[in-house]
Amino acid sequence: MLTLVLGIALTLPVWAQCGAPSTHTLAALKGNGTQALPAGRRVTVEATVSAAFVGDQALNGFYLQADAQGIFVYAPALELNSAPGVGERWRVQARTGRYRGRIQLEHPQRLEHCGDGSLMTHTLEPYHSGDYERFADQPVRIEQSLSIADAYWLGRYGSLRVALDGRAFHPGNGVDGGQLLDWVVDDGSYRRNPRPLPHAAHEQVIRAGDVIAPFTGIMTYAFGQWRIHPLEPLKLTSRNPRPPKPDKAASGTLRAVNFNLYNYFIDRGGRGAQSPEAFARQRQRLRTTIQAMDADILALHEVQNAPAAVADLVAYLNANQPTPAHYQAATTQRRPAAIRSVLLYRPARLTLEQVQRGKASVHPREPLAGTFSTPSGRRFAVAVAHFKSRGGCPDDGDTDRGEGCWADRRQRQAEAMSDWLQDGLGKEPLLVLADFNSYATEAAMQPWWSAGYSDLIAEHIAPQQRYTYIYRGQSGYLDHALATPTFARWVKDVRLWPINADEPAYRAQSAEGVWRASDHDPIMVDWKF
């Protein structure tokens, strides 16, 4: 039999040979039904290896199973060529330990191969959370295909949020979707920034909406989350391929774009890019994205609230572009705030008649409205806004009661902005482009529906495609395109360009392409008088 001795201390007890009783069952070690052994207790167990993730590029250890119980053995001293094999029975002498809430064995002093063992793989019903603890640290089989609900952390931690029966939508989106599961598919390691990218075969592009075939893995708990580490390469099917570059607007048609730029700051050290190199990448990718949409009007959010930042953005967009494609900012004085929304337009196609701002104190970032005319004399208005975020809850008052923090404030903002537009623009045909930080069916959107605005996304986009943002595995649209009745009749096409929300966050570090240039997807609205 093969015996490995790792760091033996002089106080080791007499080593019993294979087949001798273990000092403790795995259930006793983990405290199933009783109290777990304290950390630092030397124990000997004999069990079957159910999985091996050996080496510092993996979990640095292996899993044992016996009597429908499992435990992880942290063994950083093991070499890959001497790692216990799956299905083999081993006798292990180690100390009890803890790691981020998980009970484990640590730093085995002695390992002895005891022949072949038997393994049990449990069938996991993905949504039965009561089974997670029962199957902890053991092999489980997922018999259903799963949808990738969120690929955000793939490049950072190698993990994927998943859903059953299709993409999961936020309840406020008003769309039936899949069931978001409360565990993630991990990558057999706890490394940051794993490379090559986990789960991707031959540089496969992985996006939210893609499908994972049934697979087997180890169920475990770490970092405040249930996880499954696959025991085999995942088989992924692309169900959400990258979309092509959008077509240009048809002849005689105008196009407006709504786009959150994810903190366009020319200053370093605060919000936005943290280095000149990162800012250069950000600007380049945003310009590539914006130029691809070829809009006549741009409603852009999360721009640094400083005239120099707006000027920098306009100059960069206009650089090396023909004069008819140049943008100009419709600006007005703003109250202090970290970020602002900006309204850009092409003077070659439109004349700015006036620009106004909503001055109600309920707005931490004031909305803006510009009135435009065409060479033929047609008039219309475009309003832009970015409402209070859903995070940063106060200790009391406007807390999260199901629609995010500050829902009451966002509702008051909607009421104030709707009244201001009615008073300031009257019957001017109006398009509202905004990041309202509210989903379509939430109370904060009701003032718009009561005022008679059309939800252009709901009217023009298929239900399963109605999202511009993914948060914790739930898709939905916080970004909106609304129109008064007259403007709504002019609208010919509304498109979302899903280039950001479905992509892993690490792609933002690339200097090429449009993928993950922001965390929000842009909205394009085409209309013709």
pLDDT tens for each residue of 99-143: 887 899 999 999 999 999 999 999 999 888 889 999 999 999 999
Query: 97-109, pLDDT tens digit by residue?
Result: 998 878 999 999 9
- Are 146 and 212 within 8 A, CB to CB? yes
pLDDT above 50 for 9: no
pLDDT above 70 for 3: no
- Are 445 and 414 within 8 A, CB to CB? yes
C-alpha span between 438 and 501 (Å, rounded): 16
Query: 249-268, pLDDT tens digit by residue?
Result: 999 999 999 999 999 999 99
C-alpha span between 204 and 196 (Å, rounded): 11
Torsion of CA 119, 123, 126, 130, to 10 degrees: -80
Identify the CA nearest to 72 among candidates 104, 27, 96, 95. Answer: 104
* Domains, in order of start, for the chain: 3-116 (2.40.50.200), 122-237 (2.40.50), 255-527 (3.60.10.10)
pLDDT above 70 for 1: no
pLDDT score, position 8: 41
**Main-chain phi, psi angles of 108, to 5 degrees:** -60, 135
Query: 465-507, pLDDT tens digit by residue?
Result: 999 999 999 999 999 999 999 999 999 999 999 999 999 999 9
pLDDT above 60 for 322: yes
- DSSP characters over 269-296: SSSS-SSHHHHHHHHHHHHHHHHHH--S
- Are 272 and 264 within 8 A, CB to CB? yes
